[in-house]
Amino acid sequence: MANVVVVGAQWGDEGKGKIVDWLSERADVIARFQGGHNAGHTLVIDGKVYKLSLLPSGIVRGGKLSVIGNGVVLDPWHLVEEIAKLRGQGVEISPDNLMIAENAPLILPVHGELDRARESQNSVAKIGTTGRGIGPAYEDKVGRRAIRVADLGDQATLELRVDRLIGHHDALRRGLGIAPVDRAGLMAALHAIAPQVLPYAKPVWKVLHEARRAGKRILFEGAQGALLDIDFGTYPFVTSSNVIAGQAATGTGMGPGAVDFVLGIVKAYTTRVGEGPFPAELHDADGARLGERGHEFGTVTGRKRRCGWFDAVLVRQTCVTSGVSGIALTKLDVLDGFETLKICVGYDLDGVRLDYLPTAADQQARCQPIYEEMPGWNENTAGARSWNDLPGAAIKYVRRIEELIHCPVALLSTSPERDDTILVTDPFAD
């Protein structure tokens, strides 16, 4: 059976939650493979709104197994809060339908404290982090001093790893003027949260392997967007993990051969939250209109998103680095009523035309967009469920995007409602 990876192909906020929810009806297992609770998903199902930031989007669907893989950094306190919130909305969550990788590293209070202290004291250039400890947790993971989910059930190992972690963090905290870590308080907090987390801990790699052998369909869900990838994003204004599709294998314990289709989620225009280069950003009435019509505020932070025209250069680039098989184009309805639309088709860097975003940060900042204009449409596309429901100008816009990014549209989303979706190519087709 086909397995599908869903990744954001811009700077995040592309509408992955709805698409994953739409696809999850046909999947048996939905697995998160990177990131933490810094990336939000908003699902609208039968008029009811669910806001997720850590749990896989499939959790709201009955009869599905949701998995948090080892590539995710897990804040156990946030996990418990999010589970309680969803249960309050009538969602059933138990170890029968939610599993967490035993080797997933934990986000601790010290990570959030360090994250916020660094950002507040960074006088050169703020990265624009959410301050939730994601970066410091990944640092401890690669520094081999992380506390992992399995350690919560092993007192001797937990004591040793807490001491190793504190030895590193206290030195950093002194330099930032923060008081030393309260070891007793940290241990007490870990002991208190352990019984609420350990029932979900499983060897996820083994569970997924067995599911694949049994012919189950697996949907791998990414967070953020490919332009925030630690290697291929607009560094250093990126997240602290690999976001591109290849991480689906590493972040769950599956081999790369387990992936059959990569679906890149792409918004019909461009947005980003926080700092960093944004060649096609608009600072005019059109940009404000995109933000207002698209309700462009971060699910997790509430921060206003920066808005701009569709950047075909960036999406073409991320389709290559993630090996995208087809895209899901979302929020087309936000463009309704624009007399003229623009698409960024290249960059002008000091008089030289580029067809990709350069790696050097100073060059990225100097890239000026080269636009191609297309006529807009006055008809309403919101709620369209077939090509026949779309105006001709909208179809031409979609087809031009396909040409420019060298990748076909597999799905077209025309509203937050899950059924307002036009299926072109079934990602789960064998």
CA 430 – CA 295 distance, rounded (Å): 37
Burial class of 2 by CB neighbour count within 10 A (0 to 12, 13 to 18, 19+): middle
CA 43 – CA 239 distance, rounded (Å): 23
Burial 395-417, CB ≥16 within 10 A → b, else e: eebbebbeebbebebbbbbbbbb
CA dihedral 90, 91, 93, 97 (to 10 degrees): 150
Contacts 24+ apart (CB under 8 A), 395-404: 397/268, 397/332, 397/335, 397/341, 398/329, 398/332, 400/343, 400/372, 400/374, 401/266, 401/268, 401/310, 401/312, 401/315, 401/329, 401/343, 404/312, 404/316, 404/343, 404/345
Choice among 37, 41, 111, 169 that is catalytic: 41
Residue 13 catalytic?
A: yes
Residue 41 catalytic?
A: yes
Q: Please give the structure tokens belonging to residue 277.
A: 């280069």
Cα 423 to chain centroid distance, Å, stands at 22
Number of C-beta neighbours around residue 263 at 10 A:
28
Largest interatomic CA distance in the chain: 67
Q: Please give the structure tokens belonging to residue 124.
A: 């050169």
| Closest CA relative to residue 105, chosen from 80, 134, 83 | 134
CA dihedral 176, 178, 182, 188 (to 10 degrees): -90
Q: Please give the structure tokens belonging to residue 146.
A: 């992380």
Question: Which amino acids are annotated catalytic?
Answer: 13, 41
